[in-house]
Amino acid sequence: MGSKATIITLFVILQAFLWTKIGIFSIFIGQKRLPDFEAYLSLSGDIINGINPYTVSHLQTLGPPLVILPYLPFTLVSLKSAKIMVTLGSLVSVYFTCYILAKYLNPKNKLLFFTVLSTLFLTAFPARFTLEMGQIGLYLSLLITFFIVSRNDKFKGFVLSFLISSRLFFATLYISLTKRCRIIFWSLIGISLIFVFSLIFIRFDWYIFYVYEKLLPLLSTITQATNLDYYNQSLRSTLFRIGLGDYYFYVLSGVMITAGYYLYKKQNVLAAIILSILITPISWQHYYSMIFPIFVTTYFFMNKNLKNLSIFFIALFLWWIEFPFLHTTDRNLISGIVASHYFVSGMLLLYLGYSLNITNRRI
């Protein structure tokens, strides 16, 4: 058996083992729930039945109506079939993401690199959490990968429109694209088309209702004490965990001014993606699955000296791992920092990108 055949055989065995450990087969046979997916599916049913999704008694979304749109097609099939389809789509997104990155960054060792990347990605808790909740983060990770590797501004613009319509905080990328107005132009065209299409299913007054009844009240309480749930890994939750919540407004203002200036001057797209996730008021752990392509790209471009490698692998470990006991641990300075390890990981990755200036090249 040749070396490639051996790698492929080991890869298939390893992936089957991972699927078992993650519980993929349990989803396929209908034994496992996908809580977030099922909630969004219920909201999709409300929309189809003409019910405002922000007035229902069951779980609502904090995002605008557009975030429900991707789930509408799944209402055409049974719940079991829908869960299988969304899970298979997530897995395809994982493998396609890793294949594109391997082909783009290490074409000479594409197969081996793909095997390592897909194994690393699937075993990381943010990816596993995304799969277990039925979220679309792995689909968005694939879109981010397309955005990174594509050289076509029109295509990048349409990809960005899907990212922003799914997660509004990705609008931060506009600041890092001011010198590439074609991308912004096509992105705005794409968002406009998605919005117009959404009006087939979503009433315009629901958008107005969301702004006045959900978004503005949320923004008005942004400096108040937040939920310290371990699953929330934002700048806001981190400051409150370590006892600095009273300074959140000042820290956020400083970060936004500094980040805005830096992104405008350096046009650092990858930094904009990371910052989008870090500074949004609520940043769930499954959001961090979307920075996997940035980890891979950073590793490829960075100068691999001892300092950089140490920072990189610490950041990678803090992103990959989970500490379940932190759900019930009392909060103090030390436990607060540890409980924010995904946020810390993002900050370290941001530091690497800044210090190496790896994204000040055409991507």
279-290 per-position pLDDT tens digit: 998 999 999 999
Residue 247 lies in a domain: yes
What is the total count of domains within the chain?
1
Rounded CA-CA distance 174/183 in Å is: 9
Mind giving me the DSSP string for 20-87?
Answer: HHHTHHHHHTT-S--HHHHHHHHHHHHHHTT--TTS-SS---SS-GGGGGGGGGGGGS-HHHHHHHHH
Residue 69 lies in a domain: no
Residue 40 lies in a domain: no
Burial pattern 263-276, b for ≥16 Cβ within 10 A else e, equals beebbbbbbbbbbb
Mean local confidence (pLDDT), 45-66: 90
Domain span holding position 274: 222-363
Residue 279 lies in a domain: yes
Only one residue has tokens 């046979």, namely 29
Q: How many residues does the chain have?
A: 363
Rounded CA-CA distance 24/95 in Å is: 15
Mean local confidence (pLDDT), 291-311: 93
Rounded CA-CA distance 337/346 in Å is: 13
Residue 44 lies in a domain: no
- The yes-or-no verdict on residue 360 having pLDDT over 50 is no
Q: Mean pLDDT over all residues of the chain? A: 90
pLDDT of residue 357: 61
Extract the tokens encoding 9.
């055989």
Rounded CA-CA distance 237/243 in Å is: 10
Residue 195 lies in a domain: no
Share of the chain above pLDDT 70, in %: 95
- The yes-or-no verdict on residue 224 having pLDDT over 70 is no
Predicted model pTM: 0.93
Rounded CA-CA distance 64/206 in Å is: 9
Contacts of 173 (CB under 8 A, 6+ apart): 160, 163, 164, 269, 272, 273, 276
Residue 356 lies in a domain: yes
- The yes-or-no verdict on residue 200 having pLDDT over 50 is yes
- The yes-or-no verdict on residue 121 having pLDDT over 90 is yes
Contacts of 266 (CB under 8 A, 6+ apart): 176, 357, 359, 360
